[in-house]
Amino acid sequence: MSRPVAIVGAGQSDYGDFPALTMKDLFAEAYDELVASIDRGYDPADVDAAYVGNLGTGGAQLGLASALCTDYVGLDGIPVERVENACASGGYALVNAVEAVSSGERDVALAAGVEKMRDLSGDRSKYWLGVSGDTEYERLAGMTFAGVYAIMAQRYLAETDADHDHLSMVAVKNHANGAANPHAQFQREIDLETATGAPAVADPLNLYDACPTTDGAACALVVPAEEAAAYTDDPVHVTGYGAASDALALHDRETITSVPAARLAAERAYERAGIGPDDVDVAEVHDCFTIAEVLAYEDLGFAERGRGWELIAEGVTARDGARPVNTSGGLKSKGHPLGATGIGQVVELFEQLRGTAGGRQVEATTGLSHNVGGSGGAATVFVYEVGS
């Protein structure tokens, strides 16, 4: 990157089902927490660009939802845009913010995400999610979004020694983490029997293999690393990032037991950061379905192809394991407000790396976030570091 950048503030709304709150309310809730997280020196007038990840605008404000939100919190006149890459919208918004600051074009950039999913109920909600698959080849053929991941899971279980229990263990782990997260949609533990015995959604995936639909927002403030001291003694440095895309339709992919775009994004992020998978202490990964977390382990290089399930079986990625993953509860338990998710991951890592994660705190100086759009049409990976 042209000049190093750091995150000096981050915040998020509660994640959940909030029929009485608008997109603007949720955005303001996240923004207020961000402001409160900044130790000193924050002046809203210094923010000179904002990038807002969002997929569906709650079905209400189709155009210009980004300016609607930033204007509402008093960030007047700045360049602001909505960034959409389905569930990777937040990650791409952060790419833009990081590049805007690293380029020297902007000095203070807000990366944000917001989603109001629960307004869209019943058939409309299913339609809405389905359209992140390939319309021509998947949706119009009757494929649901869970169905897409079910196909990936079927193949993975056929090709490896994993069985469905390993997928359920992801849900159990993430619910245990979510139980310790006051912002999480589900703050309750579940046991393996509950997870394995849940009603089928799309074979082999059941209800507890799937993340919920969620209302929520998140944001992070990106500044040049050399200016970070004006805001805090504990900045979180963004030392690497990668973004990639791929065919939307599964049949056009090189493989369906991996997410090639995520693999490519990870390679790029590691290369920029000058680190490898073994250097990552803690990660937030995109577990929209349990199978996605297992694939993430492999795509990020935490495990070899076909052996990601061993990490969950052995407890490596549990909060007290060697490399905790989704300490926030992940999409599964913390919730998945589509456009906000990629930024919500930043909020968790910001807290973990600064030691302010409360009951979820792990020991970590290097964090990673992994955000996937649709079933892999787009992906971003970021590396964060603190200390020297």
| Residues lying near its own copies in the complex (CB under 8 A) | 1-2, 22, 49, 55-57, 60-64, 66-68, 70-71, 76-87, 92, 95-96, 99-100, 102-105, 128, 131-132, 134-136, 243-248, 252, 260-261, 264, 373-374, 377-378
Residue 126 Cβ vs its own copies, minimum distance, rounded to whole Å: 12
Nearest to 291 by CA among 231, 351, 380, 202: 202
Residue 120 Cβ vs its own copies, minimum distance, rounded to whole Å: 11
Residue 265 Cβ vs its own copies, minimum distance, rounded to whole Å: 8
Task: Read off the DSSP letter of residue 254.
Answer: S
Do 43 and 69 form a contact (C-beta atoms < 8 A)?
Answer: no
Of 89 and 327, which CB lies nearer to its own copies in the complex structure? 89
Residue 269 Cα distances to 198, 244, 272, 302, 360, angstroms = 37, 11, 5, 14, 26
Asked if the bond preceding 277 is cis, omega within 30° of 0, the reply is no
Do 258 and 303 form a contact (C-beta atoms < 8 A)?
Answer: no
Strand order of the sheet with strand 366-373? 49-53, 109-116, 215-224, 5-12, 236-245, 378-385, 366-373, 282-284
Residue 177 Cβ vs its own copies, minimum distance, rounded to whole Å: 27
Of 146 and 169, which CB lies nearer to its own copies in the complex structure? 146
User: Distance between CA 288 and CA 261 in Å, rounded?
Assistant: 16
Of 132 and 177, which CB lies nearer to its own copies in the complex structure? 132
Q: Is 175 a catalytic residue?
A: no
Q: Which is catalytic among the residues 166, 237, 286, 336?
A: 336
Q: What is the DSSP string of 101-123?
A: HHTTS-SSEEEEEEEE-TTS-HH
Of 210 and 362, which CB lies nearer to its own copies in the complex structure? 210
Q: Is 137 exposed, middle or buried (0-12, 13-18, 19+ CB in 10 A)?
A: middle
Of 20 and 62, which CB lies nearer to its own copies in the complex structure? 62
Residue 374 Cβ vs its own copies, minimum distance, rounded to whole Å: 5
**Residue 314 CB: number of other CB atoms within 10 A?**
11
Of 79 and 277, which CB lies nearer to its own copies in the complex structure? 79
Residue 18 Cβ vs its own copies, minimum distance, rounded to whole Å: 17
Number of Cα atoms under 13 Å in the Cβ half of residue 135 = 3
Q: Is 69 a catalytic residue?
A: no
Residue whose tokens read 């904002």: 50
User: Distance between CA 381 and CA 275 in Å, rounded?
Assistant: 13
Residue 268 Cβ vs its own copies, minimum distance, rounded to whole Å: 9
Do 50 and 109 form a contact (C-beta atoms < 8 A)?
Answer: yes
Of 104 and 358, which CB lies nearer to its own copies in the complex structure? 104
∠ CA 10-218-216, rounded to 5° = 150
User: Distance between CA 135 and CA 222 in Å, rounded?
Assistant: 35
Written as six digits, the tokens of 171 are: 């849900």
Q: Which is catalytic among the residues 87, 211, 219, 288?
A: 87
Number of Cα atoms under 13 Å in the Cβ half of residue 12 = 34
Catalytic residues: 87, 336
